[in-house]
Amino acid sequence: MSFIFKITFVRISMRKLIFSLFLLVAGFSNAQVSKVIDGYLADYKTKNDAEKVEVTLKSLKTGKTFVAETDDDGKFVFKNVPIGKCELKITDKNYRPETFPFETDSNHLEHFSFNPETPFMVNLKVSWMFNWGDRTVTENGKTFVKEHYWSHLAAKIILGIYGACLLLIFYYSCVQMSLAVAYVRNKKKRNSEIVPTYDEDTAPKVTVQLPMFNEMYVAERIIETAAEFDYPRDKFQIQVLDDSTDETKDIIAAKVAEVAARGINIQHIHRVDRTGYKAGALDAAMDRVEGEFIAIFDADFVPDKDFLKRTMPYFKDGVGVVQTRWGHLNKTYSLLTELQAFGLNGHFAIEQGGRNASEHFINFNGTAGVWRKACIEDAGGWEHDTITEDLDLSYRAQMRGWKFKYLEDVESPAELPITMSALKSQQHRWMKGGAEVFIKMWKSLVKYPGLKFSDRLHGLAHLFNSSVFVFILILSILSLCVLHIKDSFSDLNLFIQFGAFFLLSTVFLAFYYWNSFRDKRGNFFVDLFRFIGRFVQFLTVSMALSLSNAVAVIEGYLGIKSSFVRTPKFNVAKKDEFKGNKYDKKSLSIINIAEGVLMVVFGFTAINRTIYGDLGMVPFHLMLAIGYGIIFFSTLKENRTQA
């Protein structure tokens, strides 16, 4: 029995011994460490050693973390790190977070060194704007830097506003895209439409109104153009609505006398009191209108002789207005006029054509169109509580059931502004007037009985169009803060990256303008290449006009009244014909100075982010810098030339 017991005891002891040895070996294996792990950091921009940078090493095998700080040579050292897979992280609050995975094995028990010839390149956070309020806190006996609650909240608010602007711009581009689709669908249908024929025997009497104010350079041309209309003289009247305060009134009087001597029914109606400006002049002349229909032309237009013959046949079935497409007399004068033509072609092809094809409300463009007199009277007549009386009356008329007809194939050539100051003056009036009409009409558009929901929706979008410049301005300025947030708050980066989805807005707008691009020559790829270049140029200048246009829109919403600032006319088609224009007043304003400041800010940001390799917003900021630069230096040049 004792012998058996001893044998059993020996066997048990051997098992324990083997098990103990196994545990010892396993424990020894798990306890294997790299006594020293070291490497170097260098600044991505300067290539200099990155001093005093906090680095964290995490063992993926044990989950243990180690913290070190680089010395004056950019060197970091970790000791007694478990062998196996690890992650090296840049955790310094002043640097952009980076992670570098690596793995050690039994060959690195004494030392693991990253190649000193190729140090890790680290990027400083590009926090050049202002400090977000990092604060030093002590918890559990440890002191560290923590992001301040209020700065984090401010970042979220900024991202919220930024995202709202992106959504509104995206909504705008979706509406424009829908109009482009409607235009394309209707194009084939329009080509098959039967064009109504002109019948001289049944032609109604037409009054042509030519509103003018100090138009000495173009007054004679438009009067002569109207006098040459091919239309029965017994059914034809011309009214020159003259509010001029300079020698223009004498030029007009002489020209009117000359035309009247030919037996043409023409009147010179001169007002001393400019109440209501253009709308006031149109309204004041209504009691002298002899025709059933009224054709209106601004002083810089040169319509074809057969204009009335091509438009009057469309007045049937409740049509109150026939609007024609604007052409461009001086499109090739400069890059500025080329870009204006590009943008206006989008409006007159896609927006007017698309809305008309979908049977939504469109607007009379203030000129190059014909009104039924009864339509004006039924809608309440010309009102001058906004500076875009044409848009105002258009909506009042259509809400009362009058139909508008847009004729893309009938072109009425006009002059484009050739100076930056003239263009901004025109844009200011259009943008502010659009906002004024929105404030005046939106409630009526929502509540007016009998309107289709789609007409209400598209009408509100149409009247709200000018506000897109406010969103672009806010978006561009906040994008500077967004870059700072991107560097400072890693948990918010996902929301910032989501903003890239709204690049679709640009794609939708490209489709919109591609279908209105009138410079196509037949070769698709050549046309596409030329279009992309022109589209980028157009966006660049349009985005930079957002400052002055946004100011105009805000003035409109706030009800800040201003006089009707007429766009100066030049009557030039080539640069060597320009001898100056006394109406084109130029002075350096606060807005001009702000445009120069924004040019510098966005230019610096684009260069700064390029140097640091963060290219996400560089194209956007570069376009803004170039656009503001074009506007700022054009303004300086025009002011210097005037002086």
Q: Where are the chain's structural domains?
A: 1-30, 32-124, 206-431
For residue 243, indicate whether it is catalytic. Answer: yes
Pairing of strands 403-414, 319-328: parallel
Tokens 């789609």 -> residue: 454
Confidence at residue 31, expressed as pLDDT on a 0 to 100 scale = 66
Q: Are 569 and 218 in contact (CB under 8 A)?
A: yes
Tokens 């009277």 -> residue: 377
SS3 140: coil
Q: How far does Cα 323 stand from its chain's mean position?
A: 27
Confidence at residue 193, expressed as pLDDT on a 0 to 100 scale = 75
State the fold for domain 32-124: Immunoglobulin-like (2.60.40)
For residue 273, indicate whether it is catalytic. Answer: no
Q: How far is Cα 471 from Cα 543, in angstroms, rounded to an integer?
A: 10
SS3 53: coil
Confidence at residue 141, expressed as pLDDT on a 0 to 100 scale = 65
Sequential DSSP letters for 296-316 = E--TTB---TTHHHHHGGG--
Which residue, among 154, 118, 96, 166, has the nearest Cα to 609 in the 3D structure?
A: 96
Q: How far does Cα 257 stand from its chain's mean position?
A: 48
Pairing of strands 319-328, 369-372: antiparallel
Show Cβ contacts of residue 584 under 8 Å, excluding neighbours closer than 6 positions. 419, 421, 422, 568, 570
Q: Are 228 and 260 in contact (CB under 8 A)?
A: no
Q: How far is Cα 557 from Cα 500, in angstroms, rounded to an integer?
A: 30
Confidence at residue 413, expressed as pLDDT on a 0 to 100 scale = 95
Question: Phi and psi at residue 510, in whole multiples of 5°?
Answer: -65, -40
What is the mean pLDDT of each successive set of 10 residues along the chain, which is 643 residues long? 36 46 42 90 81 93 93 93 93 81 92 87 61 58 62 86 94 94 86 84 96 94 96 96 94 96 96 92 96 97 96 93 95 94 94 92 96 97 93 96 95 94 92 96 94 93 94 95 79 76 90 93 93 97 96 95 77 72 79 96 92 85 97 90 62
Q: How far is CA 237 from CA 205, 215, 369, in A?
A: 8, 21, 16
Angle between helices 468-488 and 590-611 (to 10 degrees): 40
Q: What is the CA radius of gyration of the chain?
A: 36
Q: How far is Cα 487 from Cα 96, in angstroms, rounded to an integer?
A: 6
Phi-psi region of 237 (alpha: psi -120 to 50; beta: other; left: phi over 0): beta
Which residue, among 245, 297, 251, 289, has the nearest Cα to 271 in the 3D structure?
A: 245
SS3 583: coil
**At the top level of CATH, which class does the domain 206-431 belong to?**
alpha beta
Tokens 């698709």 -> residue: 524
Cβ atoms < 10 Å from Cβ of 195: 10
Q: Are 389 and 282 in contact (CB under 8 A)?
A: yes
Annotated catalytic residue within 43, 242, 390, 487: 390
Sequential DSSP letters for 146-171 = E--HHHHHHHHHHHHHHHHHHHHHHH
Pairing of strands 266-270, 236-242: parallel
Long-range contacts: 97-101, Cβ < 8 Å, 24+? 97/490, 98/122, 98/123
Q: Are 345 and 422 in contact (CB under 8 A)?
A: no
Annotated catalytic residue within 43, 92, 242, 243: 243
DSSP H or E stretch at residue 413: strand 403-414
Let me know the angle formed at the C-alpha of 438 by 432 and 442, rounded to the nearest 5 degrees: 175
pTM over 0.85? The answer is no
Confidence at residue 496, expressed as pLDDT on a 0 to 100 scale = 79
Q: How far is Cα 164 from Cα 543, in angstroms, rounded to an integer?
A: 18
